């Protein structure tokens, strides 16, 4: 009897692009892909932090390079990426401006939607043009693309849009054997989110909504990224992988 073999999660020889990769979840994603054997391009705006991250990866023996670029600049995106080929794209760059509905300004709306939705859409359009069969696009979404929350109407709208584009892109790119999925984390403790927890009672309210009873750490995101990028997820597309400690199970 020939027994089935578990598909591996190695990414040797694959080329990956991670946006917003100089810190937080993006850096963790880049590290995870590099540790799985991929050649990783870290894309971010801040050159100093970006170069430090790439140097640390290279010093650890991984294949990594820096690309200082604003993903919201479509002209620059096209100029730098249109002729390149990537097997894996992680759309991680994003932002949030938590405010009550009546306090959200048009500037807030433009900032959040332009980065979370527009930039994600058009960098994907650019990269998948040359992506080979077997490629994987991973959109970093949020549990807030599936639930509502006070002061997050704008963020929820942007991540709901990411969920919609993920499903539609999966259908359109399926015939080319390119998979598109999203990862939906709960609150992950990073430099960007740490200030939220200074608000009186906020940390307690968050923990109360997470059945596992803790905040997420960037390490919690690394396995899901490698899984969705690897042959182990070969029949998974158009899906949202919840990494939320059970928040959306309630």
Q: What are the Cα distances from residue 158, in Å, to 41, 95, 147?
A: 25, 10, 12
The answer to whether residue 200 scores a pLDDT higher than 90 is no
C-alpha distances in angstroms, 144 versus 64, 94, 140? 31, 13, 11
Q: Which residues are catalytic?
A: 155
Selected from 3.40.50.720, 2.40.400.10, 3.30.450.20, 3.30.560.10, the CATH number assigned to the domain covering 15-241 reads 3.40.50.720
Cα separation values, 93 from 21, 133, 145, 248, Å? 8, 25, 16, 23
- Cα end-to-end span (Å), the chain: 44
Average pLDDT on 69-88 reads 95
Predicted local confidence at residue 144, as pLDDT: 97
Closest CA to 193 of 142, 157, 132: 142
CA distance 13 to 231: 13
Any idea what DSSP says for residue 114? I
Sketch the domain layout of the chain as residue ranges.
15-241
Identify the pLDDT of residue 129. Answer: 97
Per-residue pLDDT at 239: 98
Rounded to 5°, angle at Cα 40 from 58 and 227:
120
Tell me the C-alpha distance between 128 and 126, whole Å.
6
Kindly report, residue by residue over 135-168, the tens digit of the pLDDT.
Answer: 999 999 999 999 999 999 999 999 999 999 999 9
The mean pLDDT value of the chain amounts to: 96
pLDDT score for 82: 94
Average pLDDT (92-116) is: 97
If pLDDT is split at 50, 70 and 90, which confidence band does 191 have?
A: confident
**For position 40, what pLDDT does the model report?**
98
Q: What is the pLDDT of residue 10?
A: 97
């Amino acid at each position: 009897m020939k027994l089935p073999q578990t598909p591996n999660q190695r990414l040797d020889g694959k080329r990956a692009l991670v946006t917003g990769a100089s810190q937080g979840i993006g850096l963790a994603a880049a590290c995870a892909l590099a540790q799985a054997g991929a050649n990783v391009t870290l894309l971010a705006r801040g050159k100093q932090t970006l170069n430090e991250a790439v140097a640390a990866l290279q010093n650890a023996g991984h294949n990594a390079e820096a690309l200082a670029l604003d993903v919201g600049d479509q002209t620059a995106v096209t100029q730098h990426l249109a002729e390149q080929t990537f097997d894996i794209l992680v759309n991680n760059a994003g932002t949030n401006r938590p405010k009550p509905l009546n306090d959200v300004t048009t500037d807030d709306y433009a900032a959040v939607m332009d980065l979370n939705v527009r930039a994600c859409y058009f960098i994907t359009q650019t990269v998948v043009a040359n992506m080979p069969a077997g490629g994987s696009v991973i959109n970093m979404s949020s549990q807030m693309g599936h639930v509502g929350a006070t002061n997050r109407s704008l963020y929820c709208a942007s991540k709901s849009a990411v969920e919609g584009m993920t499903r539609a892109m999966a259908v359109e790119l399926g015939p080319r054997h390119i998979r598109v999925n999203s990862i939906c984390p709960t609150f992950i403790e990073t430099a960007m989110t740490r200030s939220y927890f200074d608000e009186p009672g906020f940390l307690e309210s968050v923990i109360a909504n997470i059945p596992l009873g803790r905040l997420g750490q960037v390490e919690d995101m690394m396995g899901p990224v490698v899984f969705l990028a690897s042959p182990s997820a070969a029949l998974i597309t158009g899906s949202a992988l919840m990494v939320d400690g059970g928040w959306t199970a309630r």
